[in-house]
Amino acid sequence: MPSNPPVVAIVGATGAVGAAFLESLAHRKFAMKELRLLASAKSAGKTLDFAGKPVTVQELTNDSFNGVDIALFSAGSGISKTFAPVAVKAGAVVIDNSSAFRMRADVPLVVPEVNPEAIKNHKGIIANPNCSAIISMTPVWPVHQVNPLKRVIISTYQAASGAGAAAMEELLESTRAYLDGKAYPPKVLPHPYAFNVFSHNADIEMDTGYNGEESKIAAETRKIFGLPNLAIAATCVRVPVLRAHACSVTFECERPITPETVRDLISKAPGLKLVDDREKNYFPMPIDASGQEAILVGRIRQDLSDPSGRSISLFTAGDQLLKGAAQNAVQIAELLKN
């Protein structure tokens, strides 16, 4: 258990999620004895603002974790695999935002609104789930508590923020070029980004036809919910939105269920905000979700293709950099402190 207040390190502090870590720690007034910002050698010496004060970035080395209680990682799975064990050996609890450890049996995969009790089983590393898994499935959890899920179909509309700061910049630059009538060959993503949508840039699994992002959502949801046999299918698409993912979710329950029941459950659940105004045709949008801690949920309606009345369709939007990444990790850190 970390000391109180803990010494906190951020690995990957100069990236998009690193900036969101700083934003979330400050916004949630997370008490710390010391904050260490760690990144590659080329970023060492830079200063970043935290709560109005400059903090100098240090080079990430094997000695970076001496005295650290909680290490927040968001620098890619390769860095996590190399340095997370180093941090654990030094006495830190690692909360990792990469895919490196998510499916390991000895590593809890945690969404605090869903399975906070899972952190009790950690052995030094706690995994942060895939951003789209968090944003799509957290709203379904309160429904599952009263009427268990049988099947889920998800389509995601994923922003540039999910691919990092460089992809966000590519969206801005390619949009400017498009509007100016200039060519802009993609550098970060595999296809033209401005005014375009395309299959998520994760590798395609040749035997199934699903991409890696889709498989992550299915596998991670089963682990988080404790439902190894849950029938789930996902289609993940990259859209020209700068920040915040959106998801279309249709789920089938064991018993008939009404939109009114789902609305009531979501309106009372932590971490969710109901945005479901049929009269004004106003539902969750990435532009509204950006910068918000809550996941927006709306378009709650009966799935009319299921005559049994057991299926509901809804739409969500959530800030990928906050609840989909940094904020979820900070919430886990809050659980560790308590």
∠ CA 21-103-122, nearest 5°, is: 65
107 and 249 both lie in a single domain: no
| Choice between 265 and 165, residue whose per-residue pLDDT is larger | 265
27 included as an active-site residue? no
Tell me if 208 is assigned to some domain: yes
pLDDT value of residue 154: 98
Looking at residues 43-60, what average pLDDT do you find? 95
pLDDT digits 0-9 by tens, 199-250 = 998 899 999 999 999 999 999 999 999 999 999 999 999 999 999 999 999 9
State the Cα–Cα distance between residues 109 and 222, nearest whole angstrom. 10
329 and 315 both lie in a single domain: no
121 and 187 both lie in a single domain: no
The share of the chain scoring above pLDDT 90, in percent, equals 95
pLDDT digits 0-9 by tens, 243-279 = 999 999 999 999 999 999 999 999 999 999 999 999 9
Listing from the earlier edge strand, what are the strands of the sheet with 272-274? Answer: 198-199, 231-238, 149-158, 245-253, 311-318, 295-302, 272-274
Whether residue 126 has pLDDT greater than 70: yes
**Which burial class, exposed, middle or buried, applies to 312 when counting CB atoms under 10 A from its CB (0-12, 13-18, 19+)?**
buried
191 included as an active-site residue? no
Whether residue 281 has pLDDT greater than 70: yes
Looking at residues 76-91, what average pLDDT do you find? 97
Q: Which domain holds residue 23?
A: 7-128+325-337
What does the mean pLDDT of the chain come to? 96
State the Cα–Cα distance between residues 253 and 151, nearest whole angstrom. 7
The DSSP line for 24-75 is: HHHHTT---SEEEEEE-GGGTT-EEEETTEEEEEEE--TTTTTT-SEEEE-S
111 and 169 both lie in a single domain: no
**Confidence band for 164, pLDDT divided at 50, 70 and 90:** confident
Among the listed residues 131, 236, 247, 253, the single catalytic one is 131
CATH code at position 13 = 3.40.50.720
Tell me if 296 is assigned to some domain: yes
Whether residue 2 has pLDDT greater than 90: no
Whether residue 3 has pLDDT greater than 80: no
72 and 152 both lie in a single domain: no
Tell me if 2 is assigned to some domain: no
pLDDT digits 0-9 by tens, 295-318 = 999 999 999 999 999 999 999 999
Whether residue 1 has pLDDT greater than 80: no
CA 151 to chain centre: 22
State the Cα–Cα distance between residues 35 and 48, nearest whole angstrom. 11
Cβ atoms of 136 and 321 closer than 8 Å: no
Whether residue 85 has pLDDT greater than 60: yes
161 and 266 both lie in a single domain: yes
State the Cα–Cα distance between residues 141 and 144, nearest whole angstrom. 5
Among the listed residues 122, 144, 200, 245, the single catalytic one is 245
CATH code at position 161 = 3.30.360.10
CA 205 to chain centre: 22
Handedness of CA 126, 128, 130, 133 (dihedral sign): positive
**Confidence band for 338, pLDDT divided at 50, 70 and 90:** confident
141 and 112 both lie in a single domain: no
Six-digit token pair at 276?
């479901």
Number of domains in the chain: 2
pLDDT value of residue 4: 80
Amino acid at 4: N
158 and 119 both lie in a single domain: no
